[in-house]
Structure 1
């Protein structure tokens, strides 16, 4: 049974790094649902990785800091398919090479680069594929975080960047509503085990704490995020637009869990 109604629909997945990434897991759910998945990655090395994982599928290389590269991606995808039903935007980057710094000492170049790659790339993607997205049931899903209101020192300036991404989802949804029914939503997971998260200073300790703060005492899994992303891409979620769906296994309501507050009691 084609519950998601994605059979033979074309979906562009942007940002696969490896088999642990949310983008890859989402692509697997889409493929299992019969969708035709196209991939965009940031380098030829990543393209080789995806081809090893996915086989003979369209894989494009795009540097989202380069407008010409984004325009080239648009032409390449249009040559491969005459319509996109959906886009998965799973791109984020932060330069932590300067080491851990208090937030007020955030380097300007690092912050602006993070905004460009992690947030503006969604705007650029939407505009590039505006004519290719199916106007009645098209869906764009980006990957955010469960909350941008918790000031975790080690996550630093990426929380404000993700807050900008969350707002961008709303503005794109409104903007596209002038001429289409294309929907824009975000999947907002709690802490995950991914290669991207491994680069965040002190992430492991935060991950272990977050796991204990969930109601089930088990961390959010990447496939749970992927399942939600696939649902948001499908016509089954047609009434959901300009939203961020939080997937945190109840962590956000469990700050005062007695096992955390009084572990020895």
Structure 2
């Protein structure tokens, strides 16, 4: 007889940031639904809501009424989101923050030439949104709820084509500890991050030179096979579940061992032979 190992059945989780079926957020929503967990969605625009509504209905059997619109650049929309969530459920057992945006309107430049405008806008959307959403939803979140953000496997690798996004993600990672400490004054709400290796998503496809980096990362994993979006989602779902109750303020790296394997003998040999 099947058992509810993750103990997610009957719970409700708000998932932000679904763009399409390739999104980490979508894979998380699918796995939550398979565990008999109710999923509410928050997307950036009405257009995005219309795009994913058929997916939610067909794949999850969900209702378009559970897809809410919130552009996190606007504080009033975050407040409205909290009100709409309260209208739809008594409490949230989890929150997935899968929101990232880099303002590259000025083009790719050396890091020291990053404009203040681009840096602050990116910080607002990609990092501060976690703080703002958590604060707005604090009365909806259960006393033992789990908040999970999607981050990157390392913020210390100065990848030129990633621009100023890694420092923003570093701030996001640091925010986990401060949010957990702050929330511990009135709850046992946990804050953790899933630090993903390179993935095939629509968002990553927009990063200049990403395909080459992805192919290298695939070679560098210990299994010589890239990390899948579903694997990242599975880690997030575990962190959302009561089974991870003892884990707080952590970032779990999901990179198939890539960070230990940069000096793999075959990779080094091929590089030297080709140089």
TM-score scaled to structure 1, two decimals?
Answer: 0.98
CA drift of 1:97 comes to 2.6
Corresponding position of 2:203: 196
Deviations 1:198-227 (A, max 9, x none): 111111111111111100111110000000
1:226 counterpart (224, 233, 236): 233
Give the equivalent residue in structure 2 for 1:72.
Answer: 80
* Matching of residue 17 in structure 1 with residue 19 in structure 2: yes
Distance 1:223 1:130 in 2: 28
Equivalent residue in structure 1 for 2:259, among 238, 252, 256: 252
Which residue matches 1:30? 32
CA apart distance, 1:187: 0.3
Aligned partner of 2:164 in structure 1 is: 157
Paired with 1:145 and 1:181, the residues of 2 have a C-alpha distance of 25
In the alignment, structure 1 segments of 5+ residues that lack a partner are none
Counterpart in 2 of 1:6? 8
User: What are the superposed Cα offsets for residues 129-185 of structure 1, whole Å, 9 maximum, x if unpaired?
Assistant: 1011110x2000000000001111111100000000000011001111111100000
Distance 1:24 1:220 in 2: 16
Q: Within the alignment, does 1:46 sit opposite 2:54 as a pair? A: no
Question: Secondary structure of the equivalent of 1:138?
Answer: strand
Is the counterpart of residue 170 in structure 1 residue 177 in structure 2?
A: yes
Task: State the partner residue of 2:94.
Answer: 86
Partner SS for 2:249? coil
Counterpart position of 2:119: 111
DSSP 3-state at the match of 1:40 = strand
Residue in 2 that maps onto 1:125: 133
- The runs of 4+ residues in structure 1 deviating greater than 4 Å are none
* Coordinate RMSD, CA, aligned: 1.0
Structure 2: how far apart are the matches of 1:107 and 1:2?
A: 49
**SS of 2:212 mapped into structure 1:** helix
SS in 2 for 1:17: coil
Q: How far does residue 98 in structure 1 lie from its aligned partner after superposition?
A: 2.1
State the shift of 1:46 in Å.
1.1
User: Displacement, 1:240?
Assistant: 0.3
> What is the alpha-carbon distance in structure 2 between the residues aligned to residue 106 and residue 200 of structure 1?
16
Q: Could you list the runs of 5+ residues in structure 2 that have no partner in the other structure? A: none
Give the number of equivalent residue pairs. Answer: 264
TM-score normalised per structure 2: 0.94
Partner SS state of residue 196, structure 1 = helix
Query: Aligned partners of 1:79 and 1:154: how far apart in 2?
Result: 43
